[in-house]
A and B are shown apart, each in its own frame.
Chain A
Amino acid sequence: MSGIGSGYDNSVSTFSPDGRVFQTDYAQKAVDNSGTVVGIRCKDGVVLGAEKLIISKMLVENSNRRTFPVDRHAGVATAGVAADGRSIVSRAMSEANQYKSFYGDPIPGHVLAERLGSYVHVFNLYWYVRPYGVSTLLATYGKEGPQLYLVEPSGTSHRYFGTAVGKGRQGAKNEIEKLKLEEMSCREGIQAVAKILHQVHDEEKGFELELAWICEESGRQFQRVPQQLAEEAEAAAKAALEAEDMDD
C-alpha cells in the first residue's frame, strides 16, 4: 500500500478518500500525453485535425490514421491509445448502423455522442475492466446543422464550438478562442487548424498532419480533406507562422 495512489488506484470500483477514481484520471492522462487533436465548428461545417507524432522513420505514411468516418454524416478523431480508438470507432459505426436500421434515419449527432458517452462510461464502473484511454472528437452534419462533440474517458460528452485534446491542448484552446468561428468557412478552418497544430507542436521531430472535415463542400459527408487542399492549407499555415516569427 505505497505509491501515489495508496492502493486506491488499482480499480475503478473504489473511490479514493478525496473522491477520485484514479483509474479514470489515469485514462485521461493517457489522452493528455497523446498528439494534439483539434476540432472546430465553422459556419458551414466542422474541421478535425490531428498531430501525429512520428513513431518510426520506417512508418508508411497514412498508415496510422486518427480520423475515421462512422457513417456518411458523422466521423471521429481520436486521441490517446490508438487501439482503444479503433474500438470506439467500431462501436460508433455499429450504433449509427443500428439506429438507421431501426428508425430509418441517420443518427443525430447528440444521440450518437450520448450513446458513445454511455458506452465509455460503463468501463468506469467495474473492477474487471479498465477505462478507455481515448478522447473522441465527433463531427456530425444533420438536421441541426454541423456540430462538434467531445467524449472523454470518464464518459462525459459535451458539445463544443471548438476544443482540443492531447499534449498541446492548452495552447491550442487559447488559439481557438481567438478565432471568429461563426464567420469562418471550413476552407479557412483547415488552415487555422493546421496553423494551430504547427504552433503547439514542440518537438524536434516533425509530425504528420491529418485533416478531416464535414461541410457543404464535402457534400455533407465526412471525409479526409482532399490531399491537395490539405497540402495547400499546411503550406499556408507554415508561411503564416514564419511571417509571425519575423515580426517578433
Chain B
Amino acid sequence: MGTTIMAASYDGGVVMGADSRTSTGSYVANRVTDKITPLTDRVYICRSGSAADTQNLSRYVQWFLEQHGMELGDDPEVKTAAKLAQTMAYQNKNLLQASGGLAGLIVAGWDKHHGGSVFAIPLGGTLVKVPFSIGGSGSAYINGLCDRLWRPNMSEEECKAFVVKAVSHAMARDGSSGGCIRTVVISKDGIKRSFIPGDEVPVAAGELPPPVRQVRA
C-alpha cells in the first residue's frame, strides 16, 4: 500500500491525515480507502505498508485496548496504544519482512493526562514520541515542506491546513498516493472527520484543476 499518512499535534489535540489510494502493482485497487483507523474513541492509527498486516495489527490493538479500558475503568492513554502497536510491530518484524509486508504506523490521539500526542512507529518497530510525523512512500517528497511549515502551538485550523497542504503535495509527486484526502481531528471534545474529494484536492504546480461541472438547468 503506497501511501501518504501523517499526524501533527497542536494546542489541545492532534490532526491526522491520509490519502485514499490502495494499489496492487500499477492498478488502483481502491480509490477511496480509509487509512485512518480508530483504536479507541480518542486514539487513531494511520496505517502504511501491507494493508492485510496493518489491518490485523490494528484489530489486535483494538482488542487489547478494549480489555485494558475495562480493567482500568478509564479510557486508555495514547502512549499505551502506541506501546501495544509497537510491540506487535517489533515482535513480528521478521514475519512482516518475510511476507513482503511492512508496517509503518503513526498512533495519535488525545488523553486527559498528556493532551494530544503523536507516536511514530517506523519499520523496525522503534517507538518515538514526536511533535508531528509523516509516513508512507509519499512522505519522502514532503520532508522539507513539513520542516518549513510545522510550528509548535498552532491552532486547530492552522494545523489542519498544514496537514491538508502537506498531504496534497505528496499526492502531487507520489504515484502511489492519490485520490482523496481524509483527516481526523482529535481533541478533548471528541473527533471530527473530514473528507476532501479527489476533484477538490489542491492542485500543485504543473497540473490543471479539473473543469467545473456544467449544471444543466
Known contacts A102-B87, A103-B68, A103-B84; decide if A110 and B79 are in contact (CB<8 Å). no
On whether the beta carbons of A110 and B73 are closer than 8 Å, the reply is yes
Interface residues on chain B, number (Cβ under 8 Å): 11
Instruction: Name the CB-closest residue of A to B68.
Output: A103
Q: Which residues of A sit under 8 angstroms from B77, Cβ to Cβ?
A: 105
Is A104's CB within 8 Å of the partner chain B? yes
Q: Which residue in B79, B83, B87, B113 is a CB contact (below 8 Å) of A143?
A: B113
Instruction: Name the CB-closest residue of A to B82.
Output: A104
Determine how close the nearest CB of chain B comes to the CB of A149; give it in whole angstroms. 14
On whether the beta carbons of B79 and A111 are closer than 8 Å, the reply is no
Determine how close the nearest CB of chain B comes to the CB of A137; give it in whole angstroms. 22
On whether the beta carbons of B113 and A103 are closer than 8 Å, the reply is no
Is B80's CB within 8 Å of the partner chain A? yes
Main secondary structure of the interface of B (DSSP, over half): helix
Per the 8 Å Cβ criterion, residues 114-173 of B in contact with A are: none
Per the 8 Å Cβ criterion, residues 71-107 of B in contact with A are: 71-73, 77, 79-80, 83-84, 87
Is A114's CB within 8 Å of the partner chain B? yes
Q: Which residues of B sit under 8 angstroms from A103, Cβ to Cβ?
A: 68, 80, 83-84
Determine how close the nearest CB of chain B comes to the CB of A141; give it in whole angstroms. 16
On whether the beta carbons of B72 and A105 are closer than 8 Å, the reply is no
Q: Which residue in A104, A108, A110 is a CB contact (below 8 Å) of B83?
A: A104
Apart from the given pairs A103-B68, A110-B73, 10 other A-B contacts in the complex at a CB distance below 8 Å: A102-B84, A102-B87, A103-B83, A103-B84, A104-B79, A105-B77, A105-B80, A108-B72, A111-B72, A143-B113
Q: What are 19 A-B contacts with C-beta separation under 8 Å?
A: A102-B84, A102-B87, A103-B68, A103-B80, A103-B83, A103-B84, A104-B79, A104-B80, A104-B83, A105-B77, A105-B79, A105-B80, A105-B83, A108-B72, A110-B73, A111-B71, A111-B72, A114-B71, A143-B113
